[in-house]
Amino acid sequence: MPILSDRETQQALLENRNILVVDDEEPIRRLLGYMLQTHGYTVTLAADAREARQRMDEQPFALMLCDVNMPGESGMDLVRNLFADRPHIAAIMVTGLDSSVLANAALDMGAFGYIVKPFESNEVLIDVANALRRRRLEMENRLHRDNLEEIVRTRTMALQQALEWLERSEKELRLSREETIERLAIAAEFRDSSTAQHIQRMSHYCELLARKLGLAPDRVDLIRTASPMHDIGKIGTPDHVLLKPGKFTAAEFDVISQHAEIGYKILSGSDSELLKVAAIIAWTHHERYDGTGYPRKLKGEEIPIEGRIASIADNFDALTTARVYKPAFDFEHARDLMIKERGKHFDPELLDLFLSAPEDLRRIHEQYTDSSKQDSTAA
């Protein structure tokens, strides 16, 4: 027998249409078997729980129709143990007792349906089709979630290893730390069609605002150096979500919003002050001043100053440059849009400081203009 890969095994489980019918009454199990076989299903019959286990050891099944009351081990016990040992098999309970208590117990246990004898052919076929459809959706969802977790785990581990190496060599690499951080940031930014120029603009906008706020020069430099890492968590975002040009669904937004938490987990826990600031920026640059942001819905000055600065800089650059979902807006239009969010999305005092330096903003934008894009923002 050929050895299947994990992907091939998962695909085989998804496409499985084998059904196991377990009932101690031979006429009932034969009737169920006949009904299902005539509609294209492959059916195996078993008279009790012991024989059912034997059949499951011989081949995989997608669904089991199981009588509730049988000699020896009951159908409820069989199904309960089945879910623990064989999570890929769905189950429908079949019984002669029309009891809402028993039905609810079966559904709470994880059964996909509850059929009362005597039953109609259409009732059985509809329940079977619905159970197989639900099983497939749940397996696809579980497989997608496992794949996403593995991607995040692998990429996070690789980045953590790179950062650990960076810390061990911090003394020797101090002079080149800004270049190293920039290249790590590009690993995330490049995936959503941004460029190194976005990182440069964003970091210099942060520096400008931090300086106008009157922060100490070493703190200003630390924010400028750390801010390119703000979206490093996107390394764990699947391409089909990250590169989507249209509006996100609620589920897709939940996925993309995880990049703030992922970025924080990658960068936090270091003794390096630079990485501490980078972790704070990654975690908080999507918080909103009115408390409606993510991931923690911080409000006002609960948001660290680094996060409030990065939020303004990042949004200004997003507005004034072309993205997959929008063209570049000119400076005046971008300014008007941000003013509308004063006190809602943005810290009002910081926003006023930022917008009070239009010539500096234009200089930064023009100095680091994307060479592959033609913007009209300086017009």
Quote the pLDDT of residue 3. 42
What is the mean pLDDT of the segment spanning 229-236? 84
Residue 176, in any domain of the structure: yes
Residues 260 and 350 in one domain: yes
Residue ending a domain, choose from 117, 139, 161: 139
**Residue 159 located in a structural domain:** no
Which residue shows structure tokens 């031979």?
A: 26
Distance, CA of 230 to CA of 112 (rounded, Å): 44
Q: How far apart are the C-alpha atoms of 366 and 97, rounded to whole Å?
A: 77
> Residue 252 is part of a domain; what is its CATH number?
1.10.3210.10
Same domain, 180 and 250: yes
The pLDDT value recorded for residue 375 is 42
Q: Note whether residue 160 is domain-resident.
A: no
Each residue of 178-201: pLDDT tens digit?
655 665 665 555 554 455 588 889
Task: Give the pLDDT band of residue 373 (cuts 50, 70, 90).
Answer: very low
Residues 91 and 209 placed together within one structural domain of the fold: no
Domain annotation covers residue 26: yes
Residue with tokens 């007792």, as numbered in its chain: 97
The dihedral over CA atoms of 352, 355, 357, 359, expressed in degrees to the nearest 10, equals -170
Cα–Cα distance, 125 to 13 (Å, whole number):
20
Last residue of a domain, one of 96, 118, 139: 139
**The predicted structure's pLDDT at residue 189:** 56
Query: Mean of the pLDDT values across residues 360-375?
Result: 77
Least confident span in 8-22, 82-96, 154-168, 220-234: 8-22
C-alpha closest to that of 87 among 104, 113, 64? 64
Q: 198 and 114 share a domain? A: no
**Segment of 68-72, 93-97, 112-116, 339-343 carrying the highest mean pLDDT:** 339-343
pLDDT at 344: 97
Tell me, yes or no, whether 261 and 322 share the same domain: yes
Domain interval for residue 231: 169-367
Asked whether residue 278 is assigned to any structural domain, the reply reads: yes
Count: domains in the chain:
2
Q: Which residues contact 99 (CB under 8 A, 6 or more apart)?
A: none
Q: What does the alpha-carbon distance between residue 309 and residue 94 come to, in Å, rounded to a whole number?
A: 62
Residue of 162 and 80 predicted with greater confidence: 80
- Contact 110/85 with Cβ under 8 angstroms? no
**pLDDT tens sequence across 81-113:** 887 778 788 899 888 888 888 888 888 888 888
Share of the chain above pLDDT 90, in %: 38
- Domain co-membership, 55 together with 130: yes
What is the CATH classification number for the domain harbouring 92?
Answer: 3.40.50.2300
Q: Are residues 177 and 135 both part of a single domain?
A: no
Q: Are residues 178 and 51 in the same domain?
A: no
User: Which whole number is the average pLDDT over 137-162?
Assistant: 79
Give the residue numbers annotated as catalytic, written as ranges: 234
C-alpha span between 39 and 43 (Å, rounded): 11
Average the pLDDT over each of 73-77, 236-240, 324-328 and give the range with the smallest value.
236-240
C-alpha span between 321 and 310 (Å, rounded): 16
Q: Do residues 260 and 346 share a domain?
A: yes
Q: Are residues 17 and 123 in the same domain?
A: yes
Residues 86 and 125 in one domain: yes
Are residues 10 and 79 part of one domain?
Answer: yes
Model pLDDT, residue 69 = 87
Model pTM?
0.52
Q: Which of 139, 160, 191 is the last residue of a domain?
A: 139
The mean predicted confidence, pLDDT, of the chain is: 83
> For residue 234, is it within any domain?
yes
46 falls within a domain: yes
